[in-house]
Amino acid sequence: MPRHFLTGAELSPDELLALVDRAIELKADPLGSNVLDRRSVALIFEKPSTRTRVSFETGVVELGGHPLVLRRDELQLSRGESVRDTAYVLSRHVAAIGIRTGPDALVEELAEHSSVPVVNMLTAGHHPCQALADLMTLKEAFGRLEGLKLAYVGDGNNVARSLAILGSLVGVEVAVAAPPGYQLSGGVPATLTSDPDEAASGADALYADVWVSMGDEDTAAERRAALAPYRLDDALLDRAAPDAIALHCLPAHPGEEITEAVLYGPRQRIWQQAENRRHAQKALLELLVH
Ligand code: CP
Ligand code: NVA
């Protein structure tokens, strides 16, 4: 049975800690692993991407492999071929399959029928690859993970859910501050509040994501109105621990969920976080692909 990475809960705490340390090693020695030597990885994108596509594509090359980027309209999937048949065929050619799509059920179905590892590169419900890079960035900043507090402020979405799931595995306490109607659902291991100041109090990291995720465009105006008080700015950072850092998965909308002063300021680790996507995903592929 292949090992999949759909929500992050597939990893044990020890595996996740080791993965973060391995990612930091690979960052120092980017060509230090040849685990994909002349093998291919299929990367299916049914939604736009800058970071995920570029970090996976470059990361696979650094591991000695060949990335095969497939957009939905390039696959027979868009003309009615089943997810099952797509999984059967891809499994006979590639060492792993990454997929970015809307429904979590589609990714689960792909994994059920795939004989190679399937990696969730973002769904409506989860973004576990992002959380890997986020934990790596926290480890670089603080030298540890256990006992850290991260406050996510904004829409209780895929990114918030993955931070809560993966954070809880390694002892990072995640607090989510969201307005009524936008709070994280699904019984995830996080402290939920509607008060951003309460969430930020004493936190080691403050985290923002977009107010309008891919697929939520129809409700953009009401989201912007409801989420307006949930902005990552210097006043909120002042509520956090003195050495707290600011994180954002990107893409950012300065003036909405984060101020320009924080996005480009001295306390952000956001651009480092974006780079860490490549290193963390390389460590993940090493773990999954044999
Ligand atoms: N953070 C992230 O996943 O960015 P992209 O949508 O650009 O891949
Ligand atoms: N929550 C955002 C994350 C983008 C990387 C979305 O799903 O669009």
The C-alpha angle with vertex 283 and arms to 266 and 131, in degrees rounded to 5, equals 50
pLDDT tops 90 at residue 49: yes
Is the pLDDT at 290 greater than 90? The verdict is no
Find the mean pLDDT for residues 93-107.
98
Return the ligand 2 atom nearest residue 159 CA.
1
CATH class of the domain comprising 129-274: alpha beta
Vertex 148: Cα angle to 146 and 154 (nearest 5): 135
Task: Please state the length of the chain.
Answer: 290
> Following CA atoms 75, 1, 10, 113 in sequence, which dihedral angle do they give, to the nearest 10 degrees?
30
From the options 3.40.50.1820, 3.40.50.300, 3.50.50.100, 3.40.50.1370, give the CATH code of 13-127+277-288.
3.40.50.1370
Q: Is residue 277 among the annotated active site residues?
A: yes
DSSP output for 149-203? EEEEES---HHHHHHHHHHHHTT-EEEEE--TTSS--S--SSEEES-HHHHHTT-
| Residues 137-177 pLDDT 10s | 999 999 999 999 999 999 999 999 999 999 999 999 999 99
Element (H, E) at 45: strand 40-45
Question: Tens digits of per-residue pLDDT, 178-231?
Answer: 999 999 998 999 999 999 999 999 999 999 999 999 999 999 999 999 999 999
Active-site position among 134, 209, 223, 269: 209
Of 114, 112, 77, 113, the residue nearest 93 (C-alpha): 114
Q: What is the pLDDT of residues 4-24, one digit of tens each?
A: 999 999 999 999 999 999 999
Look at residue 242 and give its three-state secondary structure: coil
> What are the angstrom distances between the C-alpha of 170 and each of 11, 163, 276?
11, 11, 18
Peptide bond into 251 cis (omega under 30): yes
How is the chain split into domains, by residue range?
13-127+277-288, 129-274
Catalytic member of 223, 277, 278, 279:
277
Question: Is it true that 13-127+277-288 and 129-274 share their CATH fold?
Answer: yes
* Ligand 2 atom 3: residue of nearest CA: 213
Q: Tell me which of 4, 22, 127, 278 is the catalytic residue.
A: 127
Ligand number nearest CA of 131 is 1
pTM of this prediction exceeds 0.85: yes
CA of 81 to the centre of ligand 1 (A): 27
Q: How far apart are CA 236 and CA 284, in angstroms?
A: 33
Backbone angles phi, psi at 99, to 5 degrees: -145, 135
Q: For residues 245, 246, 247 and 251, what is the CA-based torsion angle, rounded to 10 degrees?
A: -150
Q: Is 127 a catalytic residue?
A: yes
For residue 20, report the phi and psi dihedrals to the nearest 5 degrees.
-60, -45
